[in-house]
């Protein structure tokens, strides 16, 4: 007789658990705020913006998503549907450029922080993504005050934010590369 595994949680369950975790920490959370599932979860507390990407499996994909979105938030985290996978990802990326990414696991309906998220830019250091984050905060503010209706797809809006780097897509920047100032 073989033991049966418990059914794997859905990505939606993992996202909801991450949202509940962040709400307990005092964050306002938005799930799939752009209507395109580009952002799994946005957490905001005051001016601080965090981004959380979730996958029940496929740690490489979720890590790549977090890296692509890193410039839009003050911090980024990934949450995986397996504690073992989260611990392996944390160990594999501890001393790499992905080190600031928070690694969380989901199990038993709750989120456990394996590695806390850290800011991408140290306090006082030059921030190559400051304008991108400021624009993103303005978009979130417009959503909050109703200038952007809730539930509207951000397809064009997000593309505009992505191209705010002077024509180059955000995902095209490497972690160790500082973008040149935008041309007027």
User: Which comes out higher in pLDDT, residue 38 or 22?
Assistant: 22
Q: How confident is the model at residue 154 (pLDDT cuts 50, 70, 90)?
A: low
d(CA 166, CA 168): 6
Helix axes 83-93, 59-69, angle to 10 degrees: 60
User: Which comes out higher in pLDDT, residue 167 or 112?
Assistant: 112
The pLDDT of residue 182 is: 47
The pLDDT of residue 29 is: 96
Tens of pLDDT along 116-139? 999 988 878 888 888 888 888 988
Tens of pLDDT along 45-70? 998 999 999 998 888 889 998 988 88
The answer, yes or no, to whether residue 171 has pLDDT greater than 90, is no
3-state secondary structure of 57: coil
Beta-carbon contacts of residue 70 (< 8 Å; ≥ 6 apart): 51, 76, 100, 101, 120, 129, 175
76 within 8 A of 116, measured Cβ to Cβ: no
The answer, yes or no, to whether residue 161 has pLDDT greater than 50, is no
Tens of pLDDT along 15-34? 999 999 999 999 999 998 87
Q: What is the dihedral of CA 117, 122, 127, 130, to 10 degrees?
A: 50
22 within 8 A of 50, measured Cβ to Cβ: yes
Q: Where are the domains of the chain?
A: 9-167
* Mean predicted confidence (pLDDT) in 95-104: 92
Direct distance between the N- and C-terminal alpha carbons of the chain, in angstroms, rounded to an integer: 69
Strands (E), the chain: 28-31, 41-45, 48-55, 75-80, 102-107, 110-115
Burial group, residue 53, by CB count within 10 angstroms (0-12, 13-18, 19+): buried
The Cβ of residue 101 has, within 10 Å, a number of other Cβ atoms equal to 25
For the whole model, what pTM was predicted?
0.79
What average pLDDT does the chain have? Answer: 82
The pLDDT of residue 147 is: 84
């Amino acid at each position: 007789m073989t033991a049966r595994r418990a059914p794997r949680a859905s990505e939606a369950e993992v996202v909801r658990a991450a949202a509940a975790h962040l709400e307990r920490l005092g964050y306002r959370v938005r799930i799939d705020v752009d209507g395109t599932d580009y952002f799994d979860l946005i957490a905001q507390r005051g001016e601080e913006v965090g981004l959380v990407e979730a996958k029940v499996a496929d740690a490489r994909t979720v890590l790549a998503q977090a890296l692509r979105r890193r410039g839009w938030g003050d911090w980024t985290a990934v949450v995986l549907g397996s504690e073992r996978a989260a611990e392996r990802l944390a160990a594999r990326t501890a001393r790499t450029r992905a080190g600031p990414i928070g690694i969380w696991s989901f199990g038993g309906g709750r989120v456990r922080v394996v590695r806390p998220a850290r800011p991408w830019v140290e306090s006082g250091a030059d921030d190559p993504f400051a304008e991108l984050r400021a624009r993103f905060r303005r978009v979130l503010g417009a959503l909050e005050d109703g200038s952007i209706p809730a539930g509207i797809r951000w397809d064009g809006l997000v593309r505009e934010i992505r191209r705010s780097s002077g024509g180059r897509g955000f995902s095209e920047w490497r972690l160790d590369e500082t973008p040149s100032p935008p041309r007027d």
